[in-house]
Structures are given as C-alpha cells and as structure tokens.
Copies of this chain bind each other. A is one copy, B any other.
C-alpha cells in the first residue's frame, strides 16, 4: 500500500499534519534489540523545526510513544506501533487555502483523487511533518545497524548554487557523527556559512530555495540486494521519492556518469591490503547490478524549494473555477533540504536493515 514499504522490515506511516497524531507501524524489527531512547530523541531532534534561525518556528516535542512491540526498551518481535502527538497545530493558518490550491503542493492532485474528502489542513498526510515517524523508525534501525558495524551519514551537498565539500571515498563514523552534531549539517563550515546566506537571502525576499543531500552507507558486505527491480537502488529510490519535495535520486556519480566515457566511469577492481577485493574508485556508488560491491553505498537526492512562499502566486479557485491569487502565510522553512538530512539517513537505514534481514545477514 501507498504509505508502507519494506519486505522483511515493513514500515507503514500514518497521520496528518493537523489530526490527532502521526506515527509508524513497524513489523519485522529483530526481537531482543535494545532501543536507546535518549539517542533516538537526539536523532529525531535533528529534523525538528526551530533548531536554528533558518527554519520554521513551529516547534513540537515529537516524543515517540511506543504503543506496542517494545517491553523494557527491548524489541519483542511483535509489530511496533509508534505514536507522536500533534500538539502545535494552528488549523486557522490553512483553512482558506483549501479552496485555492497552493502551487507545487499536493492540494489539487489530492483534491481530485479523494473528491475533496482528504484532510489537507497543513498538507495532511503529505506534510513534511510525516517525516517525524520515518525518523523514529529509521533512528531505531540506525542503532541496530551501528551495533553491526554499519554507519550512515548525510550532509547538505548544495543549497541553490552553493556546494559543500563532498564525502571522501571512505568516510569514517566519526565524520558522520561530527556532521550530525552541527546545527547546520555540512562538512565544511565555510561552505555552510555561504549556504545559510543563500537561505537567508531567499527568506528575506519571502521566497524559498532548493538543495541536494549526499548520503553514504559504510560497512556493508558485498553481495547484498537483488537484481532488476529489487536492487539496492530500486529500493532506496522507492523510499527516497516518498520524502516530500524529493524530485531526483542518483547513485554514485549518477547523472555525472552519463557525460563520461566508460574508461572514466568504470571502477577497476583491486586487491586491498587485507587481501580482500575492492574497487579503486567508487563512481558506481557501491552498487553493481543492484547488488552491493562492498564499497560504501553513495546516493544524492534533489529537493525542490519549499513550495510555500510569501510571494503572491497565481492559482485557481476550486469553488468558482476562476483564476485567482494566493499568498501563503504561516510558519514555513525557507529551505526544507536542511531538515531532510536526517530523513535521508532514516530512509537509508530502514532500507539497509530490510535488505540485511531479507538476505539473512542479520
């Protein structure tokens, strides 16, 4: 179904921005694994509003309640239901928008699909707020993976036309940790400052700006995944395109590969110091034929600018079927990409754990 993914580890997301609550139902987490609740809260805080001056002023505690499947901080093996309360909703902010669909939001397409019955206040089930349960589930997956030597990290690769440094070929868990602790998740703080200026400039003009996120998974063995439509790429892409505002996904050098010669793009195999097999370069992002090569998995996602902007935009009235205009007020991030960094990690963690469980490697 639409709001679920995963094979051995099945994650279903529920809730709306302004409903009673949001959450996730997770089947297949390995029994006996411990949840470090404090660490989970730290991870979830990374996506929350109000972390720095650049994001929305809507602040919600986002404390995941474990309704089922957890006893004394341990996974029992039964389905884990997580619930996060919606405490800070101001539906008044949106009420009159429902009749005039906001450009580049799902308002219109959802209106048509559900004949107007969808609860689209605050974006409803499409709201970026729904990434909170993805992070709750993904944060648990991340903890389990780390116990098995698998680490996941991400950073803002670009904001508008400004770039961060790129990850090295074999980033360390320490590097991931350093970025995770920053209020603005970049490798180079100098680049980060320029990026923040870019965001501030957009905000000042009541506009928004897009960005890209680079994410890596290290510590994976070779031979994971499946051919054709269940490769690591396919599974990651299916989930990544479920993060609101993601419009592009590429692996390794991705679109860059399409401009290369084979002699540049191919990753030659070589014997490493320990006698194992690796590739000298990693332009394919650790995946060949959908299956891991043992090199770090690397991908990049493109996020469009926040659709909600204060500038007056053209739209139509669904009631009168006439052209009209709209100005969107309320609490919005001028750049959603920065808050999506842990979401990309969460999605990667859930897919990785699912593949490991499916392949009987955990």
Contact = CB atoms under 8 A, between A and B. Distances in A.
Interface stretch (A164-172, A176-184, A304-312): A304-312
Contacts of A242: 228-229, 231, 234, 290
A303 interface: yes
B68 A265 contact: no
B229 A239 contact: yes
A268 B77 CA distance: 26
Interface string A110-126: 10111101110000111
Interface in A293-329: 293-294, 302-309, 311, 313-316, 318, 321-323
A266 B105 CA distance: 9
Majority SS of interface residues in chain A?
mixed
A292 interface: yes
A49 interface: no
A253 B66 CA distance: 39
29 contacts: A3-B27, A8-B358, A12-B12, A12-B27, A12-B79, A13-B79, A14-B25, A14-B68, A14-B69, A19-B69, A19-B71, A20-B68, A21-B81, A106-B227, A110-B289, A130-B228, A160-B259, A210-B259, A212-B258, A235-B238, A247-B255, A250-B250, A258-B302, A260-B305, A263-B309, A269-B315, A270-B315, A275-B321, A277-B318
Given A3-B228, A22-B68, 6 more contacts: A32-B115, A78-B119, A160-B261, A237-B238, A266-B307, A269-B314
